[in-house]
Amino acid sequence: MKRYALITGASRGIGRAIAIELAKDGCSILLNYKSNHAAAQEAKRLIEEAGGEAELMPFDVSQPDAINAALDAWFTAHPDDYIDVLVNNAGIRRDGLFVFMSEADWHEVMSSSTEGFFYVTQRVLPGMLYAHKGRIVNIVSISGVYGMSGQANYSAAKAAIIGATKALGKEMAPRNITVNAVAPGYIATDMTADLDEAELKKTIPAGRLGTPEEVAHLVSFLCSDEASYITGQVISIAGGIG
Ligand code: NAP
């Protein structure tokens, strides 16, 4: 039986690296993204080059109707399958000092994080419960652990998911489903491309940004059988920050 892994925001950056790593682990990848079809096709090609398989599943994680439509279609086409691994990775940042923050910047960052987590996870969980087996990994951020100036929206969005991870981890522990959060520090992706790398490095004990592949290896471990006793945890991967 195939082991399906759904990774949100997998067309680029950390999500793409996770998708490639989980494909190498033998998962059949459901590759979610919002709108960058070319990047998604390239991610699919890289997965296939690594010997894996992937199907594209575009939807906006902040739109419940779009989430339900995409997942309903998949479950209808796969009546005997379930999604064994879910990585809630899609996320955006819209930084700015809180006093000047627009409603749109608050809501867009919050909804891509919390709506995505709620609707995608709730739709995927019943299959895991029926199979008595599953792995959920939520990609949060050290910003949600410690708070960062200019990121009240992003820190709040990630902290919300940290709370949900801890609660759901406890709920699911008796059912052989683990729920963990991975909190990256600064990782070299499109999301951090606008930051001053030289200045940033001075604040990172390791003296460099992390790579998406380093995050992907951690996620791969958390999704493995060997990690079956780790749940409800927030694991930082931040080059010594914290
Ligand atoms: P990225 O390079 O900007 O890639 C973002 C990915 O998310 C893309 O695949 C994008 O799809 C997708 N996406 C964005 N909004 C979406 C939506 N509403 N619905 C569906 N997909 C959506 O970001 P990244 O750096 O890899 O970050 C991935 C995750 O790690 C995020 O949750 C981020 O908060 C977290 N994180 C990143 C860092 C870092 O330093 N990079 C640090 C801590 C935490 P399209 O290609 O279609 O736009």
- CA 139 to ligand 1 center in whole angstroms: 9
Tokens of 218: 């951690």
User: With a 6 A CB cut-off, is 192 part of the ligand 1 pocket?
Assistant: yes
Catalytic residue among 130, 154, 186, 229: 154
Q: How does pLDDT run across 200-221, given as a tens digit for each residue?
A: 999 999 999 999 999 999 999 9
Q: How does pLDDT run across 147-191, given as a tens digit for each residue?
A: 999 999 999 999 999 999 999 999 999 999 999 999 999 999 999
- Whether the full predicted model's pTM is greater than 0.85, yes or no, is yes
Strand order in the sheet with 177-184: 53-56, 27-31, 3-7, 83-88, 134-139, 177-184, 234-237
Return the ligand 1 atom nearest residue 93 CA.
Answer: 34
**Is residue 141, in this structure, part of any structural domain at all?**
yes
Question: According to the model, what pLDDT value does residue 71 have?
Answer: 97
The count of structural domains within the chain is 1
**Is residue 169, in this structure, part of any structural domain at all?**
yes
Q: State the residue range of the domain holding 45.
A: 3-237
Counting ligand 1 atoms within 8 A of each CB, the residue from 30, 47, 87, 92 with the most, and so the one to mutate, is: 92
Q: What percent of the chain has pLDDT over 70?
A: 100
CATH no. for residue 72? 3.40.50.720
Question: According to the model, what pLDDT value does residue 53 have?
Answer: 98
Average pLDDT over residues 1-28: 97
**Is residue 75, in this structure, part of any structural domain at all?**
yes
pLDDT of 1 strictly over 90: no
**Is residue 242, in this structure, part of any structural domain at all?**
no
Rg (the chain; Cα; Å): 17
